[in-house]
Amino acid sequence: LFRSNHAIESNSKYMPINGHYINGFIAGDGCLAFNTKDVNFGRMSLQISQHKNNKLLLLSIADYFKSSNKVYYHDINSLQVTLSGIKLWENIIFYHFREYPLYGTKIIRLDKLFLIRELMLNNKHLIKKGKGRIWNPEVKAQIINIWNG
């Protein structure tokens, strides 16, 4: 039975993870997502799935991104970590991809997320409505076009 012993620091097979190593998992088993539904519109997420025996590896990846997001069962034999939240993306994930470029087809979605990020900087995507703020409909439409385009 294979276990992710390489994710245990005290194990002789320990292999420290770095950005390039993690990007390999993102390119192969990851998903870059953007929610375009009204509930949670604008939520960016990075999901990585692995076999259930690789829980320690997924926990190490979550730790690498300084995320408190939990690893959970995706189905009976696989686990998934979902990294989301505007602060996590703004303070850690975007910087990760600047330092460690992503290669492969997922770069298309990542480029879209960077474009969308530019529209969301400094809350330019929000307008005042009463005492609160809502999405600017023009910016929202522009974001949907970027993501679906």
Q: What is the pLDDT of residues 34-93, one digit of tens each?
A: 999 988 999 999 999 999 988 888 988 999 999 887 898 989 999 999 999 989 999 999
Residues 7, 59: contact at Cβ < 8 Å?
yes
Positions of E strands within 3-130 = 30-34, 44-51, 71-75, 78-84, 126-129
Three-class SS state of 5: helix
Place of tokens 């294979």: 2
Query: Of 146, 80, 79, which Cα lies nearest the Cα of 113?
Result: 146
With beta carbons less than 8 A apart as the criterion, state whether 52 and 1 touch.
Answer: no
Write down the pLDDT at residue 6: 64
Report DSSP state, residue 53: G
pTM, two decimals, is 0.85
Confidence class of residue 4 from pLDDT cuts 50, 70 and 90?
low
Task: Say if residues 142 and 124 touch (Cβ distance below 8 Å).
Answer: no
Entry field: residues in the chain: 149
φ/ψ of residue 117, rounded to 5: -55, -40
Strand order in the sheet with 71-75: 30-34, 44-51, 78-84, 71-75
Give the span between the Cα atoms of 86 and 130, in whole angstroms: 24
**How far apart (Å, rounded) are the C-alpha atoms in residues 145 and 142?**
5
Residue 50 has which token pair?
């692995």
pLDDT at site 15 = 74
pLDDT at position 74 is 87
